Amino acid sequence: MSRITLAIHGGAGTILKSTMSPSIELSYREGLQAALDNGYNILAKGGSSIEAVKSAVMVLEDNELFNAGKGSVFTNEGAHEMDASIMEGNSLKAGAVGIVKYVRNPIELALHVMLHTEHVFLGGEGALQFAQQQGLAIENNDYFFSQFRFDQWQNVKNSETFQLDHSPFSTKEKKIGTVGAVACDQFGNLAAATSTGGMTNKKFGRMGDTSVIGSGTYANNATCAISCTGHGELFLRAVAAYDVSALMEYKGYSLNEAMEEVVNKKLVFMEGEGGMIGVDAKGNASMIFNSEGMYRGCRNSEGTNEVQIYR
């Protein structure tokens, strides 16, 4: 039996202890630990990696501190358009959704795409119709409203610019808001899941890497499971998640070596800021980022249980 492992992230960027109040830092740590415990408990009871990553991400989607689900940022039109994807490493099956409105938990919808359709990727109104058909929780706009996100939008809504997720406590602090989870269950099966509200003031149905299998999310039992958080356009161009797997498969890199190559060499060369979490079929985990910080956590059956924010 494999070492069971779960790793999660809640976004990356310029996250500095000097600009974080103790109470807000505690709230982030508690939110991360709740998601970590939720997903890990599923693994500890013999549950599958796919169920563990889905459940961990749903906890983060339900927490308005994180830019996914309830905490999603505002688009240029004052709406919330969410992206999510999920993949399991045994069969290489995957599901993804983009530009989704009103769905409480986009990651749950992505899993339903994987399990209950012959498709991989649904978007927009069609994805919403499928969610309703599947009986998933649908919310009105009030559910997704938070003053913090609204104020972010007000700062840029009449401009031609967009903003990566950032903190209300300092205009110098920039956070790249995506949530995700990767897991290895007792049978060595891997899974990855990622969810986001995207960029504040985004236009024209913009989607980043989160909903794109191979860029923001990837899982293959032969190599690794990866969930990314960063400037989506650069992670898309780098095909970042799959690139880690390819380095492991074709060059024999370890998980950590492959992630270092992609995050701290390839993406840095492309000026792509962010990070990723990964796990392999032996239960080894790695959490690597090239920004000042990344909300992250890891728990395994050998006693590791940690939540971290700063570099």
Residues 214/126, Cβ–Cβ less than 8 Å: no
- Whether residue 170 is predicted with pLDDT greater than 60 in this model: the reply is no
pLDDT tens readout for residues 227-263: 999 999 999 999 999 999 999 999 999 999 999 999 9
- Whether residue 284 is predicted with pLDDT greater than 70 in this model: the reply is yes
**Beta-bridge mates of residue 294:** 12
At residue 169, the pLDDT reads 38
Whether the full predicted model's pTM is greater than 0.75, yes or no, is yes
Q: Kindly give the pairing relationship between strand 305-310 and strand 179-184.
A: unpaired
Closest CA to 7 of 292, 261, 275, 279: 279
Tell me what percent of the chain is helix, strand and coil, each rounded to the nearest 5. Answer: 35, 25, 35
| Band of pLDDT at residue 166, cut at 50, 70 and 90 | very low
- Active site members: 178
**Beta-bridge mates of residue 97:** 84, 122
For the segment 89-117, the average pLDDT, to the nearest whole number, is 98
Number of Cβ within 10 Å of residue 177's Cβ equals 27
The dihedral over CA atoms of 92, 95, 98, 104, expressed in degrees to the nearest 10, equals -140
**Beta-bridge mates of residue 87:** 94, 192
At residue 76, the pLDDT reads 81
